[in-house]
Amino acid sequence: MATKKHRSKDPLEVHGALWLSSGGASLAGHGRIELLQAVAEHGSITRAARAFGMSYKAAWDAIDTMNQRASAPVVERVIGGKGGGATRLTDFGRRLIERYGQVHAVHQRFLRLIEQDAMDLDQEFSLLKVLNMKTSARNQWLGTVAAVRAGAVNDDVELGLPGGLRLSAIVTRGSTESLALRPQMTVIALVKSSSVLLAVDLAGARVSARNRFPGCVASVTPGAVNAEVVLRCDGGLEVVAVVPQAAVAELGLAPGAEATALIKASDVVLAVVS
């Protein structure tokens, strides 16, 4: 066990390697892709191996393995011409290099997002931050499908949210099928702040909104016409609502005041990470 004086104060880092396989067998990683790029540049496996700092046999074995395991050859031999011939990438090989570069860039970006937003152990893990998802909906909550109740045209989807809260969403049957919604599935619920109604003194009142989240006002940000009100509910869930300034005064919405967020089930948009 490391002693205290040897413990690092540096933040946790995330590393990962991207490797392609075909039929369960290893095909190519960063090194082999760079070897293919060297072949494209030098037109010869011998010169590519020399520039790459490896033996001809090792280079040939790597290329031959890729040729055998890929759905099409990545390198081909061209007979004739000056020097008696050359080695070049096939169209498949060129497209493989290009696609690997695109995927590698996304992979590296994803690792940076994880390192930036997921490795602070003093903070709760947030998949939404890791995904870096940006939408116009101010309310974005990660939940789990608790039940899917089929209807004639629309389906009623019940989600479990942090803190034991439940959220109902009405979606079309087509949406249920295209998103493959099923119990225990992780989904993202999106609600525009303009679709959130705030109410006070609801004891005994009956409302048509399926979703009712009681909480305390965390902040009020006034604007020229409307104000942004953040309501902190059970389990730390925050609901953002945009309400007219007159309503803020009339309802007495101020930090610490109790209020209830009302959200119609039809105003909830569901998204999945496939």
Q: What is the pLDDT of residues 145-197, one digit of tens each?
A: 999 999 888 999 999 988 789 999 999 999 999 999 999 998 989 999 999 99
The Cα–Cα gap between 43 and 37 comes to 10
pLDDT for res 232: 94
Structure token digits, residue 234 = 């059970």
Determine the Cα–Cα distance for residues 232 and 219; give it in Å rounded to an integer: 9
Residue 59 lies in a domain: yes
Tell me whether residue 97 is in a domain: yes
Structure tokens at 269: 């948009």
Q: What is the pTM of this model?
A: 0.58
Does 98 lie in the same domain as 30?
A: yes
Whether 120 maps to a domain, the answer reads no
DSSP-assigned beta bridge partners for residue 244 = 226
Q: How far apart are CA 1 and CA 75, in angstroms?
A: 50
**3 state DSSP class of 26:** strand
In a domain, 94, yes or no: yes
H/E element, 212: strand 211-222
Residues 44 and 85 sit within 8 Å (Cβ to Cβ): no
Helix (H) or strand (E) holding 238: strand 238-244
Q: For position 128, what pLDDT does the model report? A: 60
Number of H helices, E strands in the chain: 7, 14
201 Cβ neighbours under 8 A, 6+ residues apart: none
Residue spans of the chain under pLDDT 50: none
Note whether 83 and 43 are same-domain residues: yes
Note the pLDDT of residue 8. 65
Residue position matching structure tokens 């060129």: 94
Distance of CA 231 to the CA centre of its chain: 26
CATH at residue 254: 2.40.50.100
Q: What's the pLDDT at 93?
A: 94
Instruction: Give the 3-state secondary structure of 133-199.
Output: CCCCCCEEEEEEEEEEECCCCEEEEEEECHHHCEEEEEEEHHHHHHCCCCCCCEEEEEECHHHCEEE
pLDDT digits (tens, 9 = 90+) for 221-238: 999 899 999 999 977 889
- Are 75 and 63 in contact, with CB atoms under 8 Å apart? yes
Could you give the strand order of the β-sheet that contains 238-244, starting from the edge strand earlier in sequence? 197-199, 258-263, 211-222, 226-233, 238-244
Distance CA 170, CA 164 (A): 20
Q: What is the pLDDT of residue 125?
A: 66
Which of 189, 205, 224 represents a domain boundary (last residue)?
Answer: 189
Q: What CATH number should be reported for the domain holding residue 72?
A: 1.10.10.10
Q: Classify residue 60: in a domain, yes or no.
A: yes
Strands 154-160, 75-79: pairing kind: unpaired
* Domain hosting residue 178, numbered range: 134-189
Q: For position 15, what pLDDT does the model report? A: 84
- Cα within 13 Å of Cα(25), Cβ side: 9
Query: Domains in the chain: how many in total?
Result: 3
Q: Is there a single domain that holds both residue 99 and residue 27? A: yes
